[in-house]
Amino acid sequence: MANFNIIFNCSSRDGSCIETYLTNDNQIGVSIYDKEDVVGIVFLDKPTAIKFAKTLRTEINKIDDGRE
């Protein structure tokens, strides 16, 4: 198992969770849990993580603007 530092951990009331962490090889890991079972894991390099963050902000702004 690789060493990692958790940089974000969010749990909901139903037990699902999203956790992000930095791996030893400088990738961002994103794990999605559904009531403690791993549903999926994605590893992103820095350029891909930056693009994903920009896309996520765009989608959040659509919610704030009332667009779907």
Domain borders along the chain are 4-65
User: Which pLDDT score is estimated for 18?
Assistant: 83
* 8 A C-beta contact, residue 61 and residue 54: no
pLDDT of 13? 75
pLDDT of residue 14: 77
pLDDT, mean of residues 42-67: 89
Residue 31 has pLDDT above 50, yes or no: yes
Is residue 55 very low, low, confident or very high in pLDDT (cuts 50, 70, 90)?
A: very high
The angle subtended at Cα 6 by Cα 3 and Cα 11, nearest 5°, is 135
State the pTM of this model.
0.68
